[in-house]
Structure 1
Amino acid sequence: MDLHGVRTKETDNATKQIATVNMSVIGIVGTAPLAERGVVASLTTGSSLLNNQITFSATQVGADGNQLKVMAMSGEADSSGGAETVAFFEDDLLTIILGTDESGAISATAEDVVDAVGALDPELSELSITAALPDGTTGQGVMLPFGKTSLTGGQNEPFPLYTPSLISGSRSAAKKLGYAGTLYADMYDILNQIGALVVVVRVPDIPSEDLQRAAIIQGIEKLKLGQSTLNYNPRILIAPEWSTDDGVGKALESTANLCRAVTYLDSPSMATPEDVARRGQMYGARVEILRPRIMVTSDVTGKTTSRPYSAAAAGHRVRIDHDYGYWWSKSNQEVYGFSGLEQTDSFLIGDETCVANQLNQANVSTIVMIDSYKHWGNRLCTDDPQYRFESVRRTMDAIEDSIQLMVTKSYVDRPIDKAFATSIVGSINSYLRQQTKAGVLNGGRCWLDPDLNTAESLAAGKVYINVAIGPKSPAEEITATYSIDNTYTVQEFNLAA
């Protein structure tokens, strides 16, 4: 329609900001049979002195019970006699009508109220209210009316079974796991490195080895729900105490592929270098094999015991992310929190035949002593000359995920036109320049694919973009060539003349 005047329009052709995803989130699975349980919301009314005390409780554990309310009002007598004591529950409100005698005076006792609440249909609501007399009381005292009063004190279970839960670098939160099972000791190893973000999946402690393995595998599958339930996608996956099992190892590898994560697998106690190297051949480019186990002094028992290394290694990885960046290798960096090793591999700088070097060449990481205990090894279980480096794999994951997220939020389902093409390519190139300037990359660029973006593909809503990235490989091998130059000797000798 024509307009006599000024028409206002808005455009959205500007480049979009890309935020790098958080690569420093650990995902862990284990047991904690004495973990804190949730608390039921409750309300206690009346007086023990008057024998009319009642405790009202939510039918389910958790904070949802705090939304429930209770009120009591006097009934009205009529020509047929006094009112009966009855209860109604609707819209999270328990309403109690207190019975009266013929004169209208309240005659309902605490016991009568408990009976009335108990007579409610238990299937009336998934979350409802129960009533009970405190121990040692008979409930013969007469009740008094009271207004709407909320139940309080309900708390959710911090670590429900098979459910991702978050520990944000807090030792006090970790203690809610209880000291039994495996998770507290694992968190102790992690937090000795840094206050890491950890997605925890607790599974039941089962005596049967086969059923326990099945529970751990089910828990590993739940790690992929971290993004949808906690807004944190775990990027370093571990299951200490169980990752020596190849059934568990394969489950970790599968979930790592889905989450674009890496996973650290422990070696059995006293495993030989040959056994560990052979095992590494079963896995792919998101798996790092660790050997040996570490000697850790418990903050609970005070005893020093052999423990799997993966929890400490995961915390170490997060600390390197924090101190230097996720694009840095964690190799040749000090690891904290343990006093010794279960096995010591031979290590000599420059010696190709030492066990530590042979393990590294077989894509197995170990721990060596260079002034202090240091992680020694860069490689994942692949022979690809560049993707075998964990730091390169994680750099590619970070860049790919960050671009994918931005493109999904800002460009999917937009009209395909010149403004679309200019904006999406500009957004990605701007991000790659930022990452290069920040030291994450050696460089990168984005461009539209001229061969695949045909009239037919664009008409079908398919757009093809190419992205080239220069990640930073770690300097794993440095060769220094030496020669003798006797001219320096001649010069020194002539100075004496």
Structure 2
Amino acid sequence: MGQLHGVETIELAAGTVAVTTIETAIIGVVGTAPQAAGAVAATLTAGTPLLGNELTFTAKKGGRSGNTIRVIAELPQPPAKGKGAGAVPTSAKWENGRLLITLGCSEEGAGNATVSDVVTAVNGVADVGVSATGSGDGVVSPFSGTLSGGEDEPFPLNTPVAMAGATALSRLGNAGTLKQALTEINDQRNALSVIVRVEEKTKPEEQRAALLAGISVLSSAKSVTTYQPRIVIAPGFSEDDAVGKALETVAGKLRAVAYVDCAAGATLQEVVQRRQSYGARTELLRPRVQVSNAEGQLVYRPYSAFAAGLRARIDYEKGWWWSKSNQEVYNILGVEQVDEFILGERNCDANLLNMQNVSTLIRRAGFKHWGNRLCSSHPQWHFESVRRTADVIEDSIQEAMLAYADRPLDRQNADDIIGSVNAYMRRLVAEGAIFGGRAWLDPELNTAETLAAGELYINYDFGPKSPTELISMRVSVNNEYGIKEMTAT
């Protein structure tokens, strides 16, 4: 390093970084929308109807790519001196994304290309990227312009698309399952959803295959949209175990939770039996709920979209560490099958379902979600709020630690990592999300060999808050209160 007489400033990259909590209220929705809007083709209008020479050029392929197409219409170059001029017919050619039109002219060099001449010339070019239309009989003047207004298909098949609230709901059309599901989500709160539209099929086996392919696409949602779903649903289809298990699989990849619906009219025994097929990232939802559709008819709908919207609302209003159980679900008129609920009664339907890790709805000052558990047999990890607390902490720390990757492996780097994690744990304690947590160097795995191999092992723990599932009030009769009153002087 050269010498310096003066003052210099050097920015140092060392130090702790703030761990930012990931976004939790992101819902992945897979379904059908056969009337969804398609791509819009770019267009260009030249001329004017007043002169009868209006032409419209339309990109043959819809989408924004058409906005780069340029159309140039020119008169032919005048002949060289000493050479006689001749009449030139109208012609066109397609070259490197440009449509080049030579307007016809008379022997005297006056333009005489009509709208019909230009349309015929353009549409006769092989492999041209635009089509031309026009019905006037005026003479076309030279012009140039670029097509505009092209828009990509808003919901292409098998492609994750992010949508906030109901901003583009109308573009899904009324048919299929997606528009209704997103409406039900947004009845609870405007939520951020990642939508995967699959093709609607008439045969059940083909529809199932389309759904399985669409569900698998959710794992690429973050790469495509920058948003990673934390709740995954397929309303209207997840009563099929093939679909339900696919949701569970993708939930494991995404550190998400799958909400799976039960079939219409399923008995308590059938629901409990089905629950045994699912694991620690699935919540099985018993009820189908009554709502009013767009025509004013009362219909029964799967519950998963409502539950996903409720989960998003609780995340925003209370925190991701809260359970959604005992919270009101909006815009529900009734349930298809009433599960008996008697507070304090262990053998009522609702409690029996909950103890078998199945969630339901109860009616108490409105309809409320009733159930804390995923389909896990672990006494703490079966709580959805505990599972999601772990997911949030693990993903948030993992994202933040990328900043330390590939730095020199020394004590400063290790201390910075530990300091960052411990600061995050203190913040979560202050927010009320956890009881506590800390990070430390693993004393056994960090050996001379692992350090030389570029491997650093850091442990951390945390204390999640389980939901208050049971409040046991122990009561006894004390007759001494009466004696005290009677003998008081």
The TM tier, using the shorter chain, reads: over 0.9
Counterpart position of 1:86: 91
Give the distance between the partners of 1:268 and 1:97, measured in 2 at CA.
66
Report deviation, 1:88.
Answer: 4.1
Partner of residue 315 from structure 1, selected from 302, 309, 313: 309
Counterpart position of 1:154: 150
Counterpart position of 2:107: 102
Report deviation, 1:49.
Answer: 5.3
Report deviation, 1:398.
Answer: 0.6
8 Å Cα contact 1:76/1:82 also seen in 2: no
Give the distance between the partners of 2:439 and 2:119, measured in 1 at CA.
71
8 Å Cα contact 1:85/1:98 also seen in 2: yes
8 Å Cα contact 1:76/1:83 also seen in 2: no
Give the distance between the partners of 2:137 and 2:363, measured in 1 at CA.
75
Give the distance between the partners of 2:291 and 2:183, measured in 1 at CA.
10
Q: 1:299-336: CA deviations, max 9, x gaps?
A: x1110111100010110111111110110000011111
Give the distance between the partners of 1:316 and 1:402, measured in 2 at CA.
23
Counterpart position of 1:248: 243
Q: Which amino acid aligns with 2:221?
A: G
Partner of residue 474 from structure 1, selected from 467, 472, 476: 467
**Which segment is superposed worse, 335-344 or 41-50?**
41-50
Counterpart position of 1:57: 58
Counterpart position of 1:406: 400
Sort the Cα spacing of 1:340 and 1:460 in 2 relative to 1 into closer, same or farther, 3 A. Answer: same
SS for the counterpart of 1:192 is helix
Give the distance between the partners of 2:2 and 2:230, measured in 1 at CA.
56
Q: 1:215-272: CA deviations, max 9, x gaps?
A: 1111111112221111111111000111000100111011101111001110001101
SS for the counterpart of 2:440 is strand
Q: 1:318-370: CA deviations, max 9, x gaps?
A: 11111101100000111111100100111111111111111011110000112
Partner of residue 219 from structure 2, selected from 210, 220, 224: 224
Counterpart position of 1:142: 139
Tell me how large the CA RMSD over aligned residues is: 1.8
Is 2:45 aligned against 1:44? yes
What are the ranges of 5 or more consecutive residues in structure 1 without an aligned counterpart? none
Counterpart position of 2:268: 273
Q: Which amino acid aligns with 1:54?
A: L
8 Å Cα contact 1:77/1:101 also seen in 2: no
Is 2:165 aligned against 1:169? yes
Is 2:487 aligned against 1:491? no
Identity over aligned residues, as a percent?
Answer: 48
8 Å Cα contact 1:77/1:102 also seen in 2: no
Q: 1:280-291 residue pairs with structure 2 within 5 A?
A: 280-291=275-286
SS for the counterpart of 2:188 is coil
Runs of 4+ with deviation above 6 angstroms:
none
Give the distance between the partners of 1:194 and 1:220, measured in 2 at CA.
24
SS for the counterpart of 2:168 is helix
Q: Which amino acid aligns with 2:286?
A: R
Report deviation, 1:69.
Answer: 2.6
Q: Which amino acid aligns with 2:189?
A: I
Give the distance between the partners of 2:287 and 2:14, measured in 1 at CA.
55
Report deviation, 1:371.
Answer: 2.0
Q: 1:434-453: CA deviations, max 9, x gaps?
A: 11111111111011111101
Report deviation, 1:94.
Answer: 2.6
Report deviation, 1:25.
Answer: 0.5
Give the distance between the partners of 2:287 and 2:4, measured in 1 at CA.
81
SS for the counterpart of 1:258 is helix
Q: 1:3-42 residue pairs with structure 2 within 5 A?
A: 3=3, 5=5, 9-42=10-43
* Alignment length (residue pairs): 484
Give the distance between the partners of 2:117 and 2:45, measured in 1 at CA.
16
Q: Which amino acid aligns with 1:21?
A: I
**Which segment is superposed worse, 421-430 or 79-88?**
79-88
Counterpart position of 1:335: 329
8 Å Cα contact 1:85/1:96 also seen in 2: yes
Report deviation, 1:32.
Answer: 1.1
Q: Which amino acid aligns with 1:157?
A: E
Partner of residue 198 from structure 2, selected from 200, 203, 227: 203
- TM-score in terms of structure 2 length: 0.95
SS for the counterpart of 2:162 is strand
Give the distance between the partners of 1:459 and 1:87, measured in 2 at CA.
68
Partner of residue 411 from structure 2, selected from 418, 443, 452: 418
8 Å Cα contact 1:202/1:219 also seen in 2: yes
Report deviation, 1:211.
Answer: 0.3
Give the distance between the partners of 1:297 and 1:192, measured in 2 at CA.
13
Q: 1:69-91: CA deviations, max 9, x gaps?
A: 32222112423623443334445
Q: Which amino acid aligns with 2:358?
A: V
Counterpart position of 2:258: 263
Give the distance between the partners of 1:160 and 1:4, measured in 2 at CA.
60
